[in-house]
Amino acid sequence: TGSVIIVGAGHAGFQLAASLRQAGFAERIALINDEGHLPYQRPPLSKGYLKGTGGPETLMFRPDKFYQDNKIDLITDRAQAIDRNARKVALASGTSLDYGHLVFATGARNRLLDIPNAKLDAVRYLRILDESQALRDLIAPGMRVVVIGAGFIGLEFAATARAKGLEVDVVELASRVMARAVTAEISEFSQSRHSAAGIRIHLGVQVTAIEADGGKVTGVSLSNGTHIPADLVVVGVGVLPNVELAAEAGLPVASGIIVDEHLLTADPNVSAIGDCALYTSKRFGGSLRLESVQNATDHARCVASRLTGKTEVYDGLPWFWSDQGPDKLQMAGLTTGYDRVVVRGDRAQGAFSAFCYRGDKLLGIESVNRAGDHMFGRRLLGAGGSITPEQAADASFDLKSALT
């Protein structure tokens, strides 16, 4: 194979480097890192880190020594151009690296708001450690924050901000929270919990402008004519995959860097993994681009296997979690295209799961404070199994009996 150069040291890039060494890969590994920190975990940025007091070191996958011990060249730089004929990566610092195999693990970046005053200092985003740190240092009791977007990150931030004593409004264009990702059952439950915590949720409306006075944010205007006063605006309206470097190198890209079921691009010397990769899914048919730790790390393990001689089709089972206030949401499988939802557990008690079916086939399970159902779903669906809607609905049915 020759040297492996990994562009991007997030969840996917870090895991690939670690898994390669674990599998006995003996040649050079360079991990190009354009953030000013050792590779770190992203999920706590909108959860525990935002709430807590620990320093950045609490987020790191591994200490510095790990990279030295495992001969992983962690290079603080940015990949700027790829020459696929010469197999070279040009870095922003002016140096260049030769590769035998190149892996894009470039992740995604915040989608930016394009409305009046969106560039003011009090309009913030939440993707990288520096942004989370800045928000953590900034938020204080009594401050008024408007969160734009009721996706996972927006709601996680909102719950944390509220718990810290801020006045919180969430504005969402869709008619329910997390509409893109979860069933109405979970959306409604989540919305009622956030409302009960004192968060005001505005659905079916758009923020049309940030209002400011002499550069200081004073609030936001909504498409329905309402004005919400605010000192701070936090934007969580999704991400854009970082595909430009691959596209400039002449590789096919669409809503991600296009890779096949082995996570290989059109060039046999180039792979793409994690948030940036639009992959051909054997499990679901068609192409998928997912944004999750599971997807990033399982992609990485699959490519590490291939580069150490064990080629296999990528077939990971998607799963995801989100912590919002006291509630733990967990998803197993992909629920797109469901036509029936069966609830197991007790919504009123705040612990239930939505089993999503197409016909009699279980597609996925979304759980709220029901970790057992989630783990069951990962095992069952991972093995290609299903249970009937009647079994799912029957509280006395022993889920474990369906696992062989």
Residues at the site binding ligand FAD, with contacts judged by CB under 6 A:
7-13, 32, 34-35, 42-43, 45-46, 78-79, 105-108, 126-127, 153, 242, 245, 274-276, 291-294, 296, 320-322
Which of residues 299 and 391 has its CB atom nearest to ligand FAD in the complex?
299
First-to-last C-alpha distance (Å) of the chain: 39
Q: For 210-228, give the DSSP string.
A: EEEETTEEEEEEETTS-EE
Taking CA atoms, 216 is separated from 73, 144, 211, 229, in Å, by: 44, 13, 8, 12
What does R_g of the chain's alpha carbons equal in angstroms? 22
> Smallest distance from the beta carbon of 209 to ligand FAD, in angstroms?
26
> Smallest distance from the beta carbon of 89 to ligand FAD, in angstroms?
9
> Smallest distance from the beta carbon of 327 to ligand FAD, in angstroms?
13
Which of residues 171 and 181 has its CB atom nearest to ligand FAD in the complex?
181
Which of residues 122 and 234 has its CB atom nearest to ligand FAD in the complex?
234
> Smallest distance from the beta carbon of 372 to ligand FAD, in angstroms?
19
Which of residues 279 and 321 has its CB atom nearest to ligand FAD in the complex?
321
Alpha carbon 363 to its chain's center: 20
The C-alpha atoms of residue 371 and residue 73 are separated, in whole angstroms, by 38
Taking CA atoms, 171 is separated from 152, 275, 327, in Å, by: 13, 25, 21
- Name the DSSP class of 264: B
Residues 6+ apart with CB under 8 A from 403: 376, 379, 380, 383, 385
> Smallest distance from the beta carbon of 72 to ligand FAD, in angstroms?
15
Which of residues 135 and 222 has its CB atom nearest to ligand FAD in the complex?
135
> Smallest distance from the beta carbon of 386 to ligand FAD, in angstroms?
24
Which of residues 9 and 72 has its CB atom nearest to ligand FAD in the complex?
9
> Smallest distance from the beta carbon of 105 to ligand FAD, in angstroms?
5
What pairs with residue 44 in β-bridges? none
Q: Are 115 and 122 in contact (CB under 8 A)?
A: no
Return the closest-CA partner of residue 275 out of 97, 11, 89, 30: 11
- The residue whose Cβ lies closest to ligand FAD is 10
Owner of token pair 């999503």: 356
Which of residues 50 and 342 has its CB atom nearest to ligand FAD in the complex?
50
